Amino acid sequence: MPEYSSLEKIRLDKIDALRKEGIEPFPTRAKRTHTSVEAIAVFEASEKAAPEGQPPAEVKVTLAGRIRATRPMGKLTFAHIEDGDGKIQLFFRVNELGQERVDFFNNRFDLGDFIQASGALMRTRTGEITLLVHDYRMLAKAVSPLPAAKDETLEDGTVLRHAALEDAELRARQRYADLAVNPEVRITFRKRTAILRALREFLDGHGFLEVETPILQPLYGGAAARPFVTHHNELDQDMYLRISFELYLKRLLVGNLEKVYEIGRDFRNEGVSFKHNPEFTQLEFYWAYADYLQVMELTEQMVSTVCQKVTGGMKVTYQGQELDFTPPWRRLSMRDGILEASGVDIAEHSTAKALFKAIAAKGKTPDPKATRGKLIDFLLSEFLEPTLIQPTFLYDYPRDISPLAKSMPGDPLTVERFEGYVAGFELCNAFTELNDPLDQEARFLEMGRDYADDEEEKHPMDQDYLRAMRYGMPPCGGFGMGVDRLVMFLTDKHHIREVLLFPHLRKEE
C-alpha cells in the first residue's frame, strides 16, 4: 500500500466523487479525430482556403491529451493539453457549456489528467489556435501530481521552463514522468529510434543481411569483458549473457552468408560510467572479401549518412565543440599518434620492458606487469585519446591485445585493426578478421597463458568456433560500434544514461 500524500488524497477523493456522480474516471474507450498538430494544420488550411475577409469554414475536431495547465477565470476556463505531438489550448465557456459544466471541469479535473474534448477550432484574441469546447469527458485520472514543469513563452519566443523535473536520479528512475514532463526528452528518444532505423537502412541498402544470434550463450567471447552468469534450470547448465556478437556472426560467414549484421544488446559485468552501462546496444557487421581499409570507408559513409539523415547535416555540436562527420575522416597510425601525443616511439621499444622504461621516463607509471600491448593501450588512453576530438581512425594495433584480428603482412607484432575516436572516446572498433584456424587456436592459447593469473580477463577457448573456422572462412572485415555512444554524439548528451530509456540504477530502497 502506498503512502498517499495530501495532494494525492485530494485526487482520490475526486475519484470517489466522480464515481458517486455516475462518472467512470477510467473509461474503457476513447475517441479522437486529430492530434494537436493535425488539428492546428487543418485549421490553418481552412483559414487559407477562406475567401478574403470571410471567416474560415468551421472545423470540428475531437482531441485527447494530458492537461498541463489550467487558467480558470469564473465563467471561462483556459487549459492546455499535451499529446504525443504537441500542445493545444482548450477554451471552456459558459456560453457553450453552461456554468455547471465549466465548474465541473474546474472542480473535478487536475493537472495531469487525460481528457477528451470536442468542439470547433478558433483563434483567440491573442491569435492562438484553440479548441472551443462543446463537450468533454475524463479519459484517465492522475492520482499523483506530475513533477511539475511549467513553460513560460517569453516575448522573443524562447521558452522558459519553471520548476522543471531536473533531478538526474528521479528522471532516470521515473523515466515515464521525465518523458511526460520534459518534451525534449521525448525528442531525444525519437532521435534514437531514427538513428537505429537509419543504420539499418544503410546496411540493408549495402546488401547486408540482418540476423539474430543467441543472447544466452553456453560460452562467452569476442571481447575482453566479464560476463553476467545465469543458469538454465532444466538443463542444469550455467549460461552467459553475451558480451559480443562476433564469434556467432563470423560462424555465419563460414555458412556462406557473406554480409551480415546484428543490432542488439550486449551485457558486460563491469564498471558503470558516463559512457558505460551494463547493457548497451551494439552494432556489428561482417563483410566477406573486404579488409579493414574497406571497412573504414564504409564506416565513415555509414556514420555520416546517419548523421545527415537524423540531424540534417554532417556537423553537430557536442558539448560545446563542433564535430564534423564529413568523410574522409582523419587517419592516424597508432605509432604516429602516440609519438605526437607523448613523444614515445613505440616502434623503438619492441619489448614490454623497454616500453615501460620509456613511459616511466615521461613521468607516468603503468602497471609493471602489463604486456607490451597493454602498455601501448596505456599510452593511447593517457596521452592520445583526449586529443582525438574530430572523427579519427586510429589504425594498426598491437597483436597481443587483438586476439581475433589478422596480423599485418610482414609485421608479426601488429594487426590490421582500427578504432574510430570521436570527442575523446572510442566509438567503434574493427579489423581484418583472423580466418586461419590454426593461428586462431594459437592466439586463444596465448591469451590463456598471458592472462592465466588474471581470471577476469581469461579468454575462454571456443572449440566450436574453431571447428567452424576449419571448414574455411573467407577473408573478411568486421566492425563493432557502441550505438548508444553514436546517439550521444548526435543528440549532444554527455551521459549514456540520457540516451537510455531505462538505464541501470541501483536497487531502490
Closest to RNA by CB, 328 or 368: 368
One residue of 72, 86, 264, 474 binding RNA per CB under 7 A: 72
Name the 3-class secondary structure at 485: helix
Burial group, residue 169, by CB count within 10 angstroms (0-12, 13-18, 19+): exposed
Contact of 6 with 56, CB cutoff 8 Å? no
Q: How far is the CB of 88 from RNA (least distance, A)?
A: 10
Relative to beta strand 209-210, strand 259-267 is parallel
One residue of 19, 31, 60, 71 binding RNA per CB under 7 A: 71
Residue type, 426: E
Q: How far is the CB of 215 from RNA (least distance, A)?
A: 18
Considering only CA atoms, which of 398, 384, 394, 390 is closest in space to residue 344? 384
One residue of 367, 411, 439, 464 binding RNA per CB under 7 A: 367
Q: How far is the CB of 498 from RNA (least distance, A)?
A: 9
- What binding mask, one character per residue, do residues 320-359 give for RNA by CB under 7 A, x or -? ----------------------------------------
Burial group, residue 286, by CB count within 10 angstroms (0-12, 13-18, 19+): buried
306: number of CA atoms within 13 Å, CB side? 24
Residues 166, 34: Cα–Cα separation, whole Å: 31
Q: How far is the CB of 465 from RNA (least distance, A)?
A: 13
- Give the interface size with RNA as a residue count (CB under 7 A): 76
Closest to RNA by CB, 103 or 258: 103
Closest to RNA by CB, 246 or 300: 246
Instruction: Show contacts with RNA in window 447-486 (CB under 7 A).
Output: 447, 457, 459
Closest to RNA by CB, 7 or 30: 7
Considering only CA atoms, which of 147, 145, 39 is closest in space to residue 83? 39
- Please calculate the CA angle 23-29-30 and round it to the nearest 5 degrees: 95
All 3 cell numbers of residue 337? Answer: 599518434
Give the interface segment with RNA, choosing from 57-65, 248-256, 331-339, 370-378 (CB under 7 A): 370-378
Is residue 505 involved in binding RNA (CB under 7 A)?
Answer: yes
One residue of 4, 27, 124, 214 binding RNA per CB under 7 A: 124
Q: How far is the CB of 244 from RNA (least distance, A)?
A: 8
Give the interface segment with RNA, choosing from 189-197, 250-258, 309-317, 493-501 (CB under 7 A): 493-501
221: number of CA atoms within 13 Å, CB side? 22
- What binding mask, one character per residue, do residues 91-120 give for RNA by CB under 7 A, x or -? --xxx-----------x--xx---------
Closest to RNA by CB, 358 or 415: 415
Closest to RNA by CB, 113 or 300: 113
All 3 cell numbers of residue 173? Answer: 528512475
One residue of 66, 80, 251, 372 binding RNA per CB under 7 A: 80
Q: How far is the CB of 462 from RNA (least distance, A)?
A: 12
Residues 430, 174: Cα–Cα separation, whole Å: 37
Place of cell 568486421: 478
Residues 481, 284: Cα–Cα separation, whole Å: 6
Closest to RNA by CB, 57 or 232: 57
Instruction: Show contacts with RNA in window 269-298 (CB under 7 A).
Output: 270-271, 273-274, 276
Closest to RNA by CB, 209 or 225: 225
Instruction: Show contacts with RNA in window 131-150 (CB under 7 A).
Output: 145, 147-150
- What binding mask, one character per residue, do residues 390-419 give for RNA by CB under 7 A, x or -? -----------xxxx---------------
One residue of 127, 312, 320, 412 binding RNA per CB under 7 A: 127
Instruction: Show contacts with RNA in window 430-449 (CB under 7 A).
Output: 447
Considering only CA atoms, which of 246, 240, 200, 198 is closest in space to residue 220? 240
Instruction: Show contacts with RNA in window 149-208 (CB under 7 A).
Output: 149-153, 162-170, 172
Residues 262, 196: Cα–Cα separation, whole Å: 11
- Structural Rg of the chain based on CA atoms: 30
Q: How far is the CB of 379 from RNA (least distance, A)?
A: 11
The helix (run of H) or strand (run of E) holding residue 77 is strand 76-82
The helix (run of H) or strand (run of E) holding residue 356 is helix 352-360
**Cα dist from 233 to 165, 351, 398, whole Å:** 43, 48, 42
Contact of 89 with 125, CB cutoff 8 Å? no
Phi then psi for residue 30, to 5 deg, are: -130, 165
Closest to RNA by CB, 16 or 210: 16
One residue of 125, 158, 320, 455 binding RNA per CB under 7 A: 125
What's the per-residue H, E or C state across 392-423?
Answer: EEEEEEEHHHCCCECEECCEEEEEEEEEEEEC
Instruction: Show contacts with RNA in window 228-267 (CB under 7 A).
Output: none
One residue of 82, 128, 336, 441 binding RNA per CB under 7 A: 128
Burial group, residue 488, by CB count within 10 angstroms (0-12, 13-18, 19+): buried
Q: How far is the CB of 501 from RNA (least distance, A)?
A: 14
